[in-house]
Structure 1
Amino acid sequence: MKRFAFGSLRIRLIFLVLFAVLPALGLMLDLGMEQRSPSISLAQERALELARSISDVQRRLIADTRQILFTLSQLPEVRQHNPVACSAVCANLLKESEGYTGFAVAKPDGDVFASAPPLAQPVNLADRPWFQRLVQSRGFVVGEYQKGRISDKATIVLTHPVLDDTGRLKAIVGAGLDLNWLSRFIAESSLPADTKFTIVDRNGTILVRYPDQKEFVGRSMPETSLVKAVLAEGEGVMEAPGLDGIPCFYGFTSLAFGSGSVHVVVGFPEQLAFAEGQQELIFNLALLGTVALLALVAAWFGGDLFIVRQVSALLVAAKGLADGNLTVRTGVSYGRGELGQLARAFDQIAESLEFHKAERRKSEEIYRSVVDNITMGVSLISIKMEILAINNQMRQWYPGLDPTTRPLCYQAYNDPLREGVCSYCPTAQTIRDGLVHEAITETPRGNQIMRYKIISSPIKDQAGNVLAAIEVVEDVTERMLAQEEKVKLETQLRQAQKMEAIGTLAGGIAHDFNNILGIISGYTDLTMLDMLEGSREMEQLECIRKAVYRAKELVQQILTFSRQREEELIPLRVSSLVKEALKMLRATLPSIIDIRWNIQASESEDLILGYPSQIHQVLMNLCTNASHAIGDQAGIIDVNLSRIQWEQEDSARPLELNQGYYLELTVSDTGCGIDPKIMDRIFEPYFTTKEAGVGTGMGLAVVHGIVKNHGGAITVESEPGKGSSFHVFFPALKDKGKHDGEMPLEPIPTGKECILLVDDEAALGQVAEKMLKHLGYEVVNRTSSIEALEAFRANPGRFDLVLTDRTMPQMTGMVLAREILKIRPDIPIILCTGFSDTLTQGKAAASGIREIVLKPFLLNDMARAVRHVLDQCKKTKSTL
């Protein structure tokens, strides 16, 4: 039964009692031996001498083995856990060394990774008592008798630790001593006849026996008197029954080494002459046995009461702790004795383990909570590309995905029918080379293309082998869309900056150009006054006058397009804008492109309400786009303008248009056409099929925005390889008068007042002076604002009106106006400018300026402006 095993505490107490009795037993034996004849002493001395001789042989054998194991422990192959090299070394040792069953090298956890003979299956030695003693002592250890797990032979294991520089156990080297070989070796050493020798380990197990090797080797016989004496005394002589029951004279000695010892016993048979002395010895032994029995009974029950119960409680608590129950406690009172202190220490260990386990569980829960609640998906992928675990984000992205089934990631995350890993997969690359990789993928989800950034990191063992990979997936869709939007905005900003630069340039050009036009128009008007109505010269001058007017309007359109002038929504005749735009296009498009136009709408039918420059831009963009579609080949661009009427039931009517009259502007080309796959995207901003650096992708988007802003619609018809047709519809207006620059024929007002004229452009000042004098006014002309101010200051009451240019050196027209008004606040002032970007009528009025006249001014325009301001001034004075 287990409770009577040698390792139990009660049995050990009994053995302690027995050991206490051994001195008395030795005394009796000594007395008995004194009564024996000298021959007995001689026999015992011979037995002891033989025991010592055999002990010396065994000591040398163990010393040699220890030296071999020490040498083996110093080998780099052993310290580096190289199984192949270590196995080769062990095999060579086994071949060259006699008397060993094998050599082995094990890891600190007991796993044998090299041996000779080779392992048939994995072997772990951690359960061997000698292994546990070596781990504790860190020194050379001789084990007990055992049946070799590697050699399957009766053996005794000798082991030596492999320590690093810090004393940490790195490996264990061991040799198995062949007990059968040892028995034969000693038997062949010329022992006297009938000699019996036995080698016993410290636990009473028979290691070597001669004769009767097979009968006794491996048996544990600590209960025999011979073994008891040997274990108790270590070295000596005695007369006792042998293991086979035959009385003998015995000599025995012990061999201590490492953390253990063995005992050598040599015996000779007794002679019949010793029978009387043996009887007396038996009597004494019986008496001693009785005393020992009483002591044993006392030790049995007293030990149970004072020791075993407390130790049993500790054992139960230890088993509970081993089973994972960290709440278990000993229940033993903490006294001053060793067992009480041991119980206290045990309970403290259990409390500490329970606390650390709770902390570890808390830490694991925090880590799991962090992983499960981050907005990035986390997957654990095996080297076979199997999904081992996922976090909550991945469960939300892939509902129903069960990692316990170990699905393949490229099927679970992509296509269930896919047969291999994705070509871009960073996780597969990480598993191959053990490095961190990342990639950005696009995955359709519903009606949206999702973009994910995948980063994979390896999980490696101590040897650097990849065991698995951690895959972190981040949804970067919004970030990349924001980046794309940023690029678009930057492009728009650059375009706006370009337009601003163009506008600044256009403003400067407009000022000088309008001055030139002013001179032309002024002298044209003055010359027309001297011509006969209806003459050929009169007609030619009229043509010049109209050209100047159209040039003036063109400058205004340029300023409007470049955002230097706000444009007004006015009634427009589209036909005249179409003709003007086509003239400009003809000068810019390649000559191999034939531009054809057909205006079917009459002058009473081509009127719309719109922004002139924007309608102009629509036609320019559509024709430019058509030119790009034609490319370097010869082609045709057709432009048609017609008036149509949409009825409510018309199936061809665009959905955004109501029934009514519309002007239809059609631009057709014979170019490459539009791919049906991209037809729905052609009006998107920045969408372009041209190569990088050619076009901005804004042309059709601008056209679409302008048409929608005018309450119209645009449709497209296209066939790849044959060309495209864009149909633009604008709501038509009824003709209610003159529009788009028609020249009014009203009487020109005159006067006799005195006007101070200021313009730094001498030629323009001269023509303005002649025009004003022709109208009857007295004119004082100055080309310097400083001189004009001095002239006004010299005689303020002389002047009825000041007509000044806006942009002049030394002093601008605005500054001059303020200085003059300081001298005479009621003087009316007219400001002339060829370019007005920020100056409005309201700002001018706030500065005391009565009227703004834009250059180039025609004679009738100047006459009406001057007369209007003077008449208003007179009305104001009369009311005062």
Structure 2
Amino acid sequence: MVDTTRPKCGFPWPGRYWLIGLGGGLLIVLLWVGAVADIARFRRLTLEYNERELSSLARALAEQTARSLQGIEFILVRTSTWALDPRRTQTSPADSDAFLREEINGVPQIHHLEIFDAAGNRTATTLLTTKPLSVADRTYFQQLQRASGNALAISEPFKSLSEGRPMFVVARRLEDAQGQFKGAIVAGIEYEYFRKFYEQVGLGPGTAIRLLRTDGTPVVVFEDRLPADRTQTQTRYVHRPVPHFPLAIEVSREEAVALAMWRTLTIDELIGAAVLSLFIMVLAVALVRQLRNLRRVNSQLRSSQQRWRAVFDNAPVGIMLLRPRDHYMAVNPSFQRMVGYSTAELEQMMPADITHPDDIQLTQRHIDQLVCGEHDSVRFEKRYLHRDGRVVWTVMNIARVTVSVEPSHRAAPHLTDLLVSTVEDVTQRRDDEQARRLLESQLRQSQKLEALGTFAGGIAHDFNNILGAILGYGERALHAVAKGSPEQRYVEQMLKAGDRARSLVERILTFSRSGLTTRLPVHVEQVITETIDLMRIRLPDTIRLDVQLDAPYAFIAGDPAHLHQVVTNLCSNAVHAMPHGGTIRLELALHRLEAPRSFSHGALGPGDFVRLSVRDSGVGISPELLERIFNPFFTTRKAGEGTGLGLALVEGIVREYSGAVNVRSAPGEGASFDVYLPVIDAVEADVDPLRAALPLGNGQSVLLVDDEEALVGLGEEVLAELRYEPIGFTSSEAAWLAFHANPQRFDVVVTDQTMPNMTGIELALRIHAIRPDIPILLVSGNNSAVLEREAKAIHISAVLRKPVRQADIARALSRVLAREDDETAT
């Protein structure tokens, strides 16, 4: 079995490149977040390490400073003991100075040693000077005065007056056994000793070491400043008190110096993150390109398969794939529709199962030629049997192709022969060809009918003129004979015959005009009764006519001649359906529809209708013919027996009257035609139109025009009898000249339509150009909707149909003249 379905894509999301970008971006973000976190952690650790380093250094310096100061303190304590010894008073100043020099000998941090009394005056010194000196105003001396016990005081740094060297002093309070202040032992300390010591620590640029008093006053300061081009940043400080002394060590370092290694590590970290980010981006781009290539390949594969599938599924011809002498492997929808079977059903069938029996051998012979290699492809016509039993004519093209087939189990692919066939349905083409030949025949027939209609129209016009004279003089003869005499009955029968002849002319004119005439109230039952009387004369003896009329007050808006044609054609069709005799049942009844309803030919809304039913007991109509019976020129009769226009004329008239036709039939069960026509409200006249009182004139002047001299003479007599003043002309040109000479002479114009040189329409146009208000009556033996529209467009008052009876002309003149009087009065 060949799989014709669309294959699934092996890679489910080749087009979702944003997922790759999102994943790569997320990985880069995580990488940079980790890098930033590491940088922040390195910074914190670096600062913590700096704090620990500075703290350790400050503690070591504080201890070292304490040891240095302890040596100084020891000298001050020993000197204080000597200075307070009572025997010191017996020592000369020179000996005292010598003693002090001996005390500081070998102590580099002490510059000099001096003793001051309670008043602040110097009493002994190691300096080689005899100049008196008082320290009473010195801050440290005053602190010692206010202190108690063996207090120590340390001064702020200053420059010595003798040498200008920076130093500070450490002084010890002297007091006697009673606690009285006796002076101070002052040791001048070398500033540079401590500064050089701090310098030797070598903390590097950006660091500083300060020896501070408890009040924050700097005593010794060493600063290793940054280069001038380096920006100063925040400074980190660490304080450590000097044990047993009112001093503290402050070690500081610029944060930029402390973070120097961190910056190096940060740069390395950023470079590494940037390199990894670039690698990820390159990897993502490479992956996207690879996926695009994969998607392009997949897209090309899908496009190829979609094109093949689109051609296979939407081809206007059938396509099928099968092995020789095997079941169908694949068929497209066109072939399925062609034979009426689904894919699943065809896969279980052999080609012979749906081939017409007469074409099975033909098909097999062509397939054998392909299999034997005689031909690569063949083309021939064959017939299929549709699921519903009808025959489908096709043109087949079959080609043999060799393909590689992969079996479902693990085995090597092998080559096999397949048959690819295209099937074109030519049933409609054959039907169209037959229909074309039939239409050509019908066209020739219609051309004959058209010529006959033209000929009939000419004859009808002349015949109407003859009928006009017959009916006109017949009416005058009817008025001249005595009532109740045999002559009156003879004349009345003559007039009825003339009316039937008039109806016959109307039927003849149906072939030569298009559209319907003006619709008037038509008494349905009366027209059908007259038509049945005419039909009975022509019915064969083997056919019985059963009539049931039950609509005595039904009127429709139309033309009696059209209703006559409907009844006649339906009955003629019924007679043709009963070649061996039978019964025609004609019924007329009122019918009311409460809701919209559809019929076999037309649909009707709610309302009142008159239903004309014609049923026969003939051979019936097959379903395939039932759909075509109303087609023009369609007939089941032999050549020369009918034109196929009867039922088409019925359907056209009913449709024009807004009605519907319902047909029911089956072979051998006869046929039933129900015609529904909408009814109107109308009252049947009780007075015989031949004896009804006619409206009379008042001496109005009537311009009468007709090319038939007999009709002009008859018209003048009729108009004079109706108390009008007629002026008759047998030439439209002469009538126009008379009117043009004196337009105000005439009150109304009655003119024929078909006349030589100038028609009635043309004459009316000329007359209205001079007197637009004058009423004009147009008389024609071939009334049509076109003529009536033309007459209405040029404001002709009325159109009368030949032959015109006295009552018709009397009522028409009375109506138009009364309308003119009303307009004049207004």
Structure having the higher Rg: 2
